[in-house]
Amino acid sequence: MPNPDLICVGAIAGSFGVKGEVRLKSFCADPDDIASYGPLFTENGAHSYKVTLTRPVANGVGARLSGVTTKEQADALKGTSLYVSREKLPSLGDDEFYHADLIGLEVRDTGGAAMGRVIAVHNHGATDLLEVGGPALKEPLLIPFTRAIVPTVDLASGRIVADLPEGLE
């Protein structure tokens, strides 16, 4: 079970150059914010890195991580997710949610029937998509995370209400 006090803010997509620089994929609304939250941690908390951004790169940002000085060290970190304590992140406005808070929520239709649970949140550019899976579904369902389709998100009760358009059911 992931630590609810840690939020994934990015991942190391690979090395960049020959002096230990990495290419970071930032999950922050402003990609450069990834360097402003203080040290970033691996999921198990075993390692932390101070991040210094160096330049924009394709599909991410170039960065130096404290303690990483060679291409081999940077290569070894490829795929590592980076986390920050929730308390370091800005407060969210109404109708804004961290993906980590949505994963695991129960999803019900407008009639109250259980559909499943949010198993992932994806974004391929246009809008967030909630991936919902459960025994009531033959295969996972992707639901656009818009106010029209998901009118209710109740974090306190751990529930989402989805009003699926015809054809998506």
Those residues whose C-beta lies under 8 Å from the C-beta of residue 77, and which sit 6 or more positions away, are 12, 22, 65, 68
Output the pLDDT for position 21: 94
Output the pLDDT for position 34: 92
- For residue 100 the two structure tokens come to 């980590």
- Domains contained in the chain, CATH given: 6-88 (2.40.30.60), 99-162 (2.30.30.240)
Tens digits of pLDDT across the chain (169 residues): 456 688 889 999 999 888 899 999 998 878 899 999 989 999 888 899 999 999 988 888 999 999 999 999 999 999 999 999 888 888 787 778 888 889 999 999 999 989 999 999 887 777 889 999 988 888 999 999 999 999 999 988 999 999 988 766 5
Output the pLDDT for position 1: 46
Alpha-carbon separation of residue 104 from 11, 39, 121 (angstroms): 21, 27, 10
